Structure 1
Amino acid sequence: MAKDTPNASGYTPNALSKRKQNSTGVFSMPSAGSVLMVSVSCLMVLSLIMVASASIPFANMHDISQLYFFKNQLMYMGIGLAAAFMAYKVRLLWLYDMLTLASALMMVILLLIATLLFGDAINGSKRWIEIGPFNFQVAELAKLVMVMFTADFVVRRGTEVRQGYGGIFRMGVLVMVLVGLFLSQPDFGSLVIIIGVILAIFFVAGAPWSQSGFLVVGGLIGAAYAVMFQEYRMTRATSFLDPFDDIQGSDYQLARSLIAFGRGEITGVGYGESVQKLAHLPEAHTDFLLAITGEELGLVGVLTVLALEALVIASAMRISYTALKNRQMRLSYTAFGFAVIFIGQGVINSGMNMGLMPTKGLTLPFFSYGGSSMLISLVMVGILLNIHKNTSKIPTAQCRHY
């Protein structure tokens, strides 16, 4: 056998080939899991920075520690990361066990009922329940559970979903229970997200167009009914059309949000220099944190946040597509459902901040202040990374179980 002889550069042909392979590997596209972790980490850091800035005036007004909300956000991030690690380590097959899903769904329904019975009313809504020393918003858990339950349902009942109306009627019974519970709180925004993600999963699972149309029409009728018979919802639904016609009344928050964006222009007025957070924009560290970001960091800061959100969504979609190629349908629909939730909340939160949509109490994932949202969103990331890690390791013969 002939030996390799060094060329003019001192490398043998085999060594040169390996060097080219290594060099190519350096410039290969990063994995979906890596992009997801980096994007979420950057959003969490930006969240802490902006929550610290936006919440200090509110904390001063209520005589609490200036960094109270910063520390709370950091604490929930720590709890969320621990929960995400457990979700990353759990056996995927266990997540789709019928007993697990049924137990989780029953727990959500019972917690929603307990919230109505024992929860404290905050700003006129009963959305939070005390669990030990923490306030927890059950709607966030409901989003996670409904994605996984629906992903399993459209696979287990695939024939009913794709042929006729059996699948949608079965799911409709559960949805009507949730509609009653969420409208009693009331939490119209979370209900819209949950119904939207169910509709999206049914659609990609092959449900006929007639079913999708039925769901859309039913959803629009339900939304119109909920809006028309509640004066405050009608006011919210129409106030964004002219955000300055009642600047001291129904348009107060939206008008201040637009003023904040206007002041920030391209590069912002400077970190910590926002005027709108000084009692002009109530609780600016929650739903309108993006507006304060626009004022202090300008268009550059807002685009950075939205670009990171887009990377999170793209990573989840990529994980879903990989599972789809491997015919692991439950995993694919689950990752897709999480991406739809991130899209829905991102569009609604940023849209209401910019005056493009009515104001709703929905957080911008991984960025807005909110312990329950941060906790459940990080659990979703843990499950996504679990899927990404295991999707290529599942034997072909077992794919139907996933």
Structure 2
Amino acid sequence: MKAIEQALGWLRHRAGAADGAPAPRLGQPRELDLLVLWSAGALLLMGLVMVFSASIATAEGSRVFGNQPAYFLIRHAVFLAVGLIAGIMVFQVPVRAWQEMAPWLFIAGVVLLLVVLIPHVGRDVNGARRWLPLGVVNLQPSELMKLFAALYAADYTTRKLPYMHSFKRGFAPLASVILFVGFLLLKEPDFGAFVVICSIAFGILFLGGMNGRLFMLLAVVATIGFIGLITFSEYRRQRILGFMDPWSDPLGKGYQLSHALIAFGRGEWFGVGLGGSIEKLFYLPEAHTDFLLAVIAEELGFAGVMVVVVLFAVLVQRCFAIGRQAIVLERTYPALVAQGIGIWLGVQSFINMGVNMGLLPTKGLTLPLMSFGGSGILANCVTLAILLRIDWENRQVMRGTQP
């Protein structure tokens, strides 16, 4: 107990010194993790190209989008520019400041999830109310909540380190607020975001030293809850049936998956060529969002899909490597945030890829850093900026200078 208190006191002293630290110099590549920069940059640029390719037919064939082939390309480029500018600004903020703001950001996220459920305030799209209209753009609170959940769970775990083996004082309080967030997400409904946020929060708890028996109990309860959500929800049952045999009803509940599998089949090893997809021509729904990987598979083949998989694997590995380095330096909160980011990117990309390949039931989750969507791109860029800031501060501590 005394050792833990001393470690936390040292961490507070070190982090407090960062508040008056000079802004990091972005012009020095050696100050940052180049693998994070290159892998994230490649995914963002590849996403920009593939969103354009996947959305040309949809944009050109709809009066809603002005019959402009580049409609989604322009909007995605604007979102990307805004996200990069926001990321540069966020990079200047010390990690200590994020720890202080974490509870308030989490509360703000909960408020946004409540507001989006208010009739005539939240926007309905395809039977789901997940967006807040803000003039020319829509805000999706669940995307921001993923980041807020990672920041808050890391702060909570850091504060509760001595009680991580206690159900009442360590596990139960965080579990209660996360389940409340899950309830709000299921009301939208957004089951995919619920799974990702639970994975982030409880993954951070586990990495922070949560009792192994409690974690196993959580896994059992989560499995039972998952089965219950499917059993008592007609549309979720239909999705499971469509997943198990999409060809039994290829024009109904198996429509999306069957066309995604056709896209993968047509792509073979090296694809039909960039822009040559047939499935994106009004056959595959949400080709530029949820099923972007299927278009990549058709146009760039197995090789293109493997490039995406490897880039995500490198990025997730670097998240955990940066987190481990922070642990060595006794920087508990930054370590948990970095690893929480790794869980987020890893779980969400795995689910999206699994859905596209027919390994998981159809679920409305985008591919991080790549799929079209302003809220998602903004949240992803801000998250990467925080990760790079953690890495930068790690390097300053290793050099014996104040971060």
Distance 1:128 1:356 in 2: 28
Q: Which amino acid aligns with 1:296?
A: E
Q: 1:53 to 1:183 in 2, by over 3 A?
A: same
1:135 Cα deviation (Å)? 0.3
For the residue of structure 2 that corresponds to 1:126, the secondary structure is strand
Distance 1:33 1:246 in 2: 48
Distance 1:174 1:107 in 2: 13
1:132 Cα deviation (Å)? 4.2
Distance 1:83 1:31 in 2: 20
1:80–1:378 Cα contact (<8 Å) kept:
yes
Q: 1:90 to 1:73 in 2, by over 3 A?
A: same
For the residue of structure 2 that corresponds to 1:76, the secondary structure is helix
1:225 alignment partner in structure 2: 228
2:291 alignment partner in structure 1: 288
Q: Which has the larger radius of gyration?
A: 1
For the residue of structure 2 that corresponds to 1:128, the secondary structure is strand
Distance 2:401 2:69 in 1: 54
2:82 alignment partner in structure 1: 79
For the residue of structure 2 that corresponds to 1:267, the secondary structure is coil
Distance 1:272 1:84 in 2: 31
Structural mapping, 1:30-109, within 5 Å: 33-63=33-63, 64=66, 65-97=68-100, 100-109=101-110
1:87–1:379 Cα contact (<8 Å) kept:
yes
Q: Which amino acid aligns with 2:229?
A: A
For the residue of structure 2 that corresponds to 1:330, the secondary structure is helix
1:51 Cα deviation (Å)? 0.9
1:394 Cα deviation (Å)? 4.0
Structural mapping, 1:191-230, within 5 Å: 191-230=194-233
* Larger deviation, residues 51-60 vs 235-244: 235-244
2:151–2:337 Cα contact (<8 Å) kept:
yes
Structural mapping, 1:124-273, within 5 Å: 124-273=127-276
Using structure 1 for the length normalisation, give the TM-score: 0.88
1:299 alignment partner in structure 2: 302
Correspondent of 2:347 among 321, 324, 344 = 344
Q: Which amino acid aligns with 1:221?
A: I
Q: 1:398 to 1:332 in 2, by over 3 A?
A: farther
Distance 2:158 2:311 in 1: 32
1:345–1:365 Cα contact (<8 Å) kept:
yes
Question: Once the two structures are aligned, what percentage of the paired residues are identical?
Answer: 35
Q: 1:397 to 1:202 in 2, by over 3 A?
A: farther
1:274 alignment partner in structure 2: 277
2:114 alignment partner in structure 1: 113
Summarize deviations over 1:15-64 as a string: whole Å, max 9, x none. xxxxxxxxxxxxxxx98711111111111111111111110111122132
1:346 Cα deviation (Å)? 0.9
2:32–2:392 Cα contact (<8 Å) kept:
no
Distance 2:259 2:129 in 1: 26
Summarize deviations over 1:169-215 as a string: whole Å, max 9, x none. 11122122112211110100000111111121111111111210222
Q: 1:397 to 1:302 in 2, by over 3 A?
A: closer
1:397 Cα deviation (Å)? 12
Summarize deviations over 1:329-387 as a string: whole Å, max 9, x none. 11011000000011101110010100000011111111111211111011110001101
1:319–1:332 Cα contact (<8 Å) kept:
yes
Distance 2:172 2:292 in 1: 40
Distance 1:132 1:59 in 2: 20
* Larger deviation, residues 286-295 vs 127-136: 127-136
1:319–1:387 Cα contact (<8 Å) kept:
yes
Q: 1:183 to 1:164 in 2, by over 3 A?
A: closer
Q: Which amino acid aligns with 2:47?
A: S
Distance 2:260 2:326 in 1: 40
1:324 Cα deviation (Å)? 1.1
1:124 Cα deviation (Å)? 0.3
Distance 1:284 1:164 in 2: 44
Q: 1:398 to 1:272 in 2, by over 3 A?
A: closer
Using structure 2 for the length normalisation, give the TM-score: 0.88
Q: 1:204 to 1:278 in 2, by over 3 A?
A: same
Distance 1:164 1:197 in 2: 19
For the residue of structure 2 that corresponds to 1:111, the secondary structure is helix
Q: CA RMSD in A?
A: 1.9
Summarize deviations over 1:243-287 as a string: whole Å, max 9, x none. 211101000010000001101101111111111111110221111
Distance 1:398 1:37 in 2: 23
2:116–2:130 Cα contact (<8 Å) kept:
yes
For the residue of structure 2 that corresponds to 1:392, the secondary structure is helix
* Larger deviation, residues 312-321 vs 156-165: 156-165
Distance 1:396 1:271 in 2: 46
Moved over 3 A (4+): 394-399
Summarize deviations over 1:118-173 as a string: whole Å, max 9, x none. 11110000011123432011011111011111111111011221344421111122
